[in-house]
């Protein structure tokens, strides 16, 4: 009997203990949950979602040029976990192709994808950040921008316009353009109306032609109807999709006027500075990825497109004569000397550009150029 009472007492104590522990769990559990919700609320506040609009100078989804801003936007969204999203609009969906600079500057959109040499009228030094005739290649441009002080000069130039520029792609060496007239001497350029922008346009004018700046979407019709007699655009990959082979006979190289055209991603400076530091870094890194990706794509696709133009469409591929190229180089030197002489910013930027170019060209004579020449020689 005593044993039974002892067992009952033990059971009673165990049950009482369980009741007390259960009560403590019920009391403590809500406190734990509440603390966790507070932490999540703070996290959501600190990581609010931001949405930007991006306008471009290219048709929506256009190969290379039009896909680069899409690549940039995709990288930004993925790396930010959706905290920063960007909707990309093609030319004319929000603003005209050559209205990107002003739209981003005044805050109508937060970001744009275009080419700096379109703004030569606003900023004489701007073309140095796209390309200049007989200038640096894509590899050399990237080196100058990121390791030669170029990007800092670019941002200094654009700061008064409330813009923060980033390199946003490179087409590599372009083609000299499409003509319906053979170019044998400099006289064959005289009287020609050609779409050719930037400093090269001024060089073309002094060579006796008439340079016009027409957006890419209007080039086919302009060439077909005779508004222009010739045009340059990019290279085989893009030119094939534009259909220029249907309205022009001769395809000339090399692209003396655009040896390594850097495109730009321009961000509204206030919008960029309002970002938290990690999102700023994501924007920078996404731009560098898009910059390299475009060059890789053009390098991969240009030759196949060129062979298609020649073999399937009967395009006549021709090299500009040495005499024409040498004369264009002399004019280029004159134009640039005059341009920088009256503009302190342009002079400073050109000094940096030219000094870096001389050094990198000297090295490439014994590296890139020497190797390519050697490779060609042993394969003959």
Q: Provide the pLDDT for residue 173.
A: 97
Give the model confidence (pLDDT) of 151-187 as tens digits. Answer: 999 999 999 999 999 999 999 999 999 999 999 999 9
pLDDT at 31 over 80: no
Per-residue confidence (pLDDT) for residue 217, from 0 to 100: 83
Report how far residue 346's alpha carbon sits from residue 355's, in angstroms, rounded to the nearest whole number: 14
All structural domains of the chain: 48-170+261-298 (3.40.190.170), 177-257+316-379 (3.40.190.10)
Task: Note the pLDDT tens digit of each residue in 260-314.
Answer: 999 999 999 999 999 999 999 999 999 999 999 999 999 999 999 999 999 999 9
- Which pTM was predicted? 0.85
What residues contact 284, with CB distance under 8 A and at least 6 apart? 166
DSSP one-letter code for 197: -
- Neighbouring CB atoms inside 10 A of 40's CB total 9
Q: What is the distance between the alpha carbons of residues 119 and 96, in angstroms, rounded to a whole number?
A: 14
Residues 66 and 56: beta-carbon distance below 8 Å:
yes
Select from 227, 350, 225, 235 the least CA-distant residue to 294.
235
pLDDT-based confidence at 342, cuts 50/70/90? Answer: confident
Cα gap 184→180, rounded to integer Å: 13
pLDDT in the model for residue 94: 95
The terminus-to-terminus CA distance of the chain in angstroms comes to 113
Query: For the segment 51-71, what is each residue's pLDDT rounded down to a tens digit?
Result: 999 999 999 999 999 999 999
Per-residue pLDDT at 198: 86
Least confident of 46-55, 109-118, 245-254, 298-307: 46-55
Q: Let me know: does 336 contact 351? Beta carbons within 8 Å.
A: no
The whole-number average pLDDT for the span 205-219 is: 91
**How far, CA to CA in Å, does 186 sit from each of 183, 232, 328?**
7, 17, 9
Residue 29 has pLDDT above 60, yes or no: no
């Amino acid at each position: 009997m005593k044993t039974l009472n002892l067992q009952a007492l033990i059971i009673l104590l165990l049950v009482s203990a369980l009741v007390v522990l259960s009560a403590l769990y019920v009391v403590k559990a809500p406190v734990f949950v509440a603390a966790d919700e507070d932490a999540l609320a703070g996290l959501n506040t600190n990581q609010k979602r931001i949405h930007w609009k991006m306008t471009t100078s290219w048709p929506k989804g256009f190969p290379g040029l039009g896909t680069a801003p899409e690549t940039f936007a995709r990288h930004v969204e993925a790396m930010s976990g959706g905290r920063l999203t960007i909707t990309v609009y093609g030319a004319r969906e929000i603003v005209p192709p050559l209205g990107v600079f002003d739209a981003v500057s005044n805050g109508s959109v937060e970001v744009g994808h275009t080419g700096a040499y379109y703004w030569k009228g606003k900023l004489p030094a701007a073309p140095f950040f796209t390309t200049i005739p007989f200038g640096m290649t894509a590899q050399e441009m990237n080196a100058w921008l990121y390791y030669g002080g170029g990007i800092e000069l670019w941002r200094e130039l654009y700061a008064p316009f409330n813009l923060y520029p980033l390199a946003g792609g490179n087409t590599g060496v372009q083609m000299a353009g499409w003509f319906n007239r053979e170019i044998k001497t400099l006289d064959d350029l005289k009287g020609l109306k050609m779409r050719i922008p930037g400093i090269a346009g001024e060089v073309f004018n002094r060579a006796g032609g008439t340079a016009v700046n027409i957006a890419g979407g209007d080039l086919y019709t302009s060439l077909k109807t005779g508004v222009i007699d010739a045009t340059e655009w990019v290279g085989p990959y893009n030119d094939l999709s534009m259909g220029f082979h249907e309205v022009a006979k001769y395809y000339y190289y090399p692209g003396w006027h655009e040896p390594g055209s850097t495109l730009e991603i321009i961000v509204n400076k206030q919008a960029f500075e309002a970002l938290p530091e990690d999102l700023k870094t994501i924007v920078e890194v996404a731009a560098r990825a898009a910059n390299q990706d475009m060059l890789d794509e053009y390098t991969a696709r240009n030759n196949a497109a060129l062979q298609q133009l020649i073999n399937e469409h009967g395009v006549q591929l021709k090299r500009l004569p040495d005499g024409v190229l040498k004369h264009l180089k002399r004019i280029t030197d004159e134009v640039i000397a005059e341009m920088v002489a009256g503009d302190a910013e342009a002079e400073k930027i050109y000094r940096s550009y030219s000094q870096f170019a001389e050094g990198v060209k000297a090295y490439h004579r014994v590296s890139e150029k020497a190797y390519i020449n050697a490779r060609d020689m042993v394969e003959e």
